[in-house]
Amino acid sequence: MAASETKINLPQGFLLGAASAAHQVEGGNTHNNWWFYEQEGRLPQSGQAADHYHRYEEDFRLAHDIGLNLMRISIEWSRIEPIEGQFDQAEIRHYRLVLQSMKAHGLTRMVTLFHWTLPLWLAEQGGWENSRAVEWFSRFSQLVAKELGSEIDLWITINEPEVYSLMSYSYGLHPPFQKSLPRMIKIIHRLIRAHKASYQAIKNILPQAQIGLAKNNVYYDAYTKGAFNQLAVTISNYITNFYILDRVKNYKDFIGLNYYFYHSLQFRLTKGWQVKNQAGPKSDMGWRTYPQGVYYLVKDLYRRYGRPIYITENGIANAHDDMRARFIAEHLQALSQAIVEGVDVRGYCYWSLTDTYEWHDGYGPKFGLIEINFETLERRVRPSAKIFKEIIL
């Protein structure tokens, strides 16, 4: 890319990083509900994944070498609490070493507590449908705060409560494979309570902790001008983007934004509302990329909530690696524009550091800055990862 395209005006101290989630990279997460259904043949096998559980040092060294200074990981609840009420000291020690290694590699540590996998004992008791799940999650949060809190810089309680609820309770693609709107709505409200309880549990131990949740917001616009298209945008914005955040208003020190989707909406009397994107670049998963969307989203979030913002995920499945560098640069350009206009955006995590187990899509989609050979577990930094060093802050 030309130097003019990589000259991005980001403030001093802006954090540039990457994200991951335990079940998608660690391997061998045998005590959670995903693993259970994988063995049943209902989901692709995650197996040893990227073996990040054993190779975290190497991964953090590569992250540092690429030029990153922020890393978002998740702690696997089922490792810490494989049996109800019993906490595994060896796993707590493991995560302490992981967090210390991040620090040693110059990475600010952002940690997610629930990134979609449940301990099997909890799933067997109904998962989030069981009202006690809130109390159990709060106990787990408290334990992590006590044992590991001094090694955590930024906290994310829950990753994408609405996407989790949609995939697991409406689309039926993720465990427990339900297709029920009322149950989905119930789970969303349960997760709102879980977030608040977790926030409080952490704050009780670490009053200074910086805590947020990661929210997947979609950038909507009207396909063509017109009152109905615009109404569709307003309603979608409220339901998808603001409903949950409004309900946790006083329980967030920052906003974590996951940005992947752009939808242009059209209303037709015969068909209702439809997504009608104009032609444009698409990822290997068919997701239309639209960097400018992140500018509008952070502007809206800041206007509405006035809290600092971290981009907790933004990424592209791109096996040929021919779109990734531009994708990253253009999103950072859009963020820089918002920052110049006064929006307090403090950091950016690309999804993902390495190739991952992409949930029900298995090992197909390639999001990584680092390519993983899932047979040999060899790491190879993709050429696009150079972008972080080329960006002139």
Catalytic sites, residue numbers: 160
- Using the minimum distance from each CB to ligand BGC, give the nearer residue, 223 or 254: 254
The answer to whether residue 43 forms part of the interface with ligand BGC (CB under 6 A) is: no
Cα separation of 182 and 138, whole Å? 25
Half-sphere exposure of 167 (CA within 13 A, CB side): 15
Residues 229/266, Cβ–Cβ less than 8 Å: yes
Q: How far is CA 31 from CA 121, 122, 124, in A?
A: 8, 10, 12
Residues 210/253, Cβ–Cβ less than 8 Å: yes
The only residue of 29, 46, 157, 159 in contact with ligand BGC, by rule CB under 6 A: 159
Which residues, at least 6 apart from 24, have a Cβ–Cβ distance to it below 8 Å?
46, 49, 115, 352, 356, 357, 358, 359
| Pattern 179-218, ligand BGC, x by CB under 6 A | -------------------------------------x--
Part in contact with ligand BGC (CB under 6 A); list of ranges 157-165, 177-185, 340-348, 385-393? 157-165
The only residue of 18, 21, 110, 166 in contact with ligand BGC, by rule CB under 6 A: 21
Q: How far is CA 360 from CA 41, 82, 165, 231, 278, in A?
A: 11, 23, 15, 33, 28
Helix %, strand %, coil % of the chain (to 5): 45, 20, 35
The answer to whether residue 163 forms part of the interface with ligand BGC (CB under 6 A) is: yes
- Using the minimum distance from each CB to ligand BGC, give the nearer residue, 198 or 258: 258
The only residue of 358, 374, 377, 386 in contact with ligand BGC, by rule CB under 6 A: 358
| Pattern 294-313, ligand BGC, x by CB under 6 A | -------------------x
Which residues, at least 6 apart from 171, have a Cβ–Cβ distance to it below 8 Å?
179
Half-sphere exposure of 78 (CA within 13 A, CB side): 24
The answer to whether residue 284 forms part of the interface with ligand BGC (CB under 6 A) is: no
Part in contact with ligand BGC (CB under 6 A); list of ranges 131-139, 155-163, 268-276, 372-380? 155-163
In the bound complex, what is the minimum distance in angstroms from residue 365's beta carbon to ligand BGC?
7
In the bound complex, what is the minimum distance in angstroms from residue 112's beta carbon to ligand BGC?
9
Q: Which residues bind to ligand BGC, rule: CB under 6 A?
A: 21, 24, 159-160, 163, 216, 258, 313, 351, 356, 358
